[in-house]
Amino acid sequence: MDERKIIHIDMDAFYASVEQRDNPQYRGKPVVVGRPEGRGVIAAASYEARRYGIRSAMPSLRARQLCPELIFIPGRMEIYKEVSARIHRIFHEFTDLVEPIAYDEAFLDVTRNKAGIALGVDVARAIKRRIREEVSLVASAGVSYNKFLAKVASDYRKPDGLCTIHPDRAEAFIARLPIEAFWGVGRVTGRRMHELGIHTGADLRACSQDFLTERFGKAGLHYYEFARGIDRRPVEPSRIRKSVGCEETFARDLTTLEEMTEALYGLSARLNRRLDRTGFRGHTLTLKIKYANFRQQTRSRSLKDELGASSDIFPLGETLLRESGAAGHPVRLLGLSLSTPAADNPAEPHEVYRQLELDF
C-alpha cells in the first residue's frame, strides 16, 4: 500500500486576514475581530496584534492593555463562510477526501489526487498558490504520512509556512517537540505533564503505555502512539454530528438565580431553534457555567428518552442550574448543549452531517 500523503491546511489569522484584505487601511496594523466592550472576547488576531501577546479567546480588556492602539472590528460571519466555501472548492479540485475542521482549516488526503501530482508537498504548494491567487489570502500547510504530523508541520513555520515531515525523519522531529505541541495537550494537561517530568516528545516517548493510560485515561494511548509517530485516523470527508449547543457571555455578571434563570430561558429557546434546524436529537443535556474569575463548571443529565426540538429543554436546564450552586456567585457566561445522539448506539439509524454545516 502507498504511504499516505496527508496535508493540513491552516489559514493564517483567517478572520483578521479577511478584514485586512477587504480594508487596506488595516494592513500592517494590529487588528482583532471582536467586541471592544469590557466583556468582549477576541475571536481572531492579526499577526501584528500577536506580536503584543494578543491571541484568540483573550478578554478584550486585556488585549487593549497589551496594545492601546489595537483596532477592533466587528465579525462578519457570512463573509467568512463565503470565503471558506471558496477555499474548500479549491481543495476539492485536488481531492474529495477533505475533512473540514473549521472554517479556516482542513485535512486533505492526497495520496491519490485528481491532479496526478506525485509529491504531497507539490500538491500543498499548488493549493497555497491557488488560495493566494484566487482568494488573496495566505495559508500555511503541513505535509506528512498522518494527521498528527501534518498538523504539527502546518504550525511549524507560520505564517505562510510549508513544512514536510518525512517518515524517516519523524522520530527525531517528534523528540524535539515541546509537549504543548502534541494534539490534545492544552494548558491543564501540559501542566500535569510537566509535573510528571514530561517536557518534550523524547520525554513522552520514554513513558510506558500503562504509565500514560493510568494518568490520562484513553488519551494516554494517543499520547503514547503520537510520541512514536503513529496516528491511524483516516481523513473523514463527513462526520456524525455529536452535539449542538449555544452559549452567551453577558455584558455584566449575573448574580441572582432569577437573572440566571431568565438568561437560561433565552438560551433554551436558541438551542431549540438550532435543534429544529439540524434535526439533531440526543440524550444528554449539559449546562456550562463560567464565573467572573474564569473558573468553569459543567453539569450534565442523561435521560433514557431522546431530547430534540420538540422537547422542553428549559425545565431540565433549570434543574441543572439550581443543582450547580451558582446562585450568589458572579457568572459571566452560560451555555447549553445537547449530546449523546442515537447515532452512538449502533442499533439506531443515524444521519450524517457535513462538518461545514456545524455552528461555530
Nearest 5 degrees, angle CA 286-CA 288-CA 292? 170
The three cell numbers of residue 333 are 457566561
Residue 172 · residue 32 · CB < 8 Å: no
DSSP strand E in the chain: where? 6-11, 31-34, 42-45, 71-73, 98-102, 105-109, 139-144, 162-164, 243-254, 282-291, 296-307, 331-339
Give Dmax over CA atoms of the chain in angstroms.
Answer: 63
Would you report the helix, strand and coil content of the chain in percent, each value rounded to 5? 40, 25, 35
Nearest 5 degrees, angle CA 213-CA 218-CA 222? 85
Task: Lay out the sheet containing 243-254: strands in order across.
Answer: 243-254, 331-339, 282-291, 296-307
- What whole-number distance in Å separates Cα of residue 29 and Cα of residue 161? 21
Using left for φ > 0, alpha for ψ between -120 and 50, and beta otherwise, residue 237 falls in: alpha
The three cell numbers of residue 101 are 475542521
Residue 248 · residue 269 · CB < 8 Å: no
User: Known catalytic residues?
Assistant: 105
Q: In angstroms, how far is CA 348 from the centroid of its own chain? A: 28
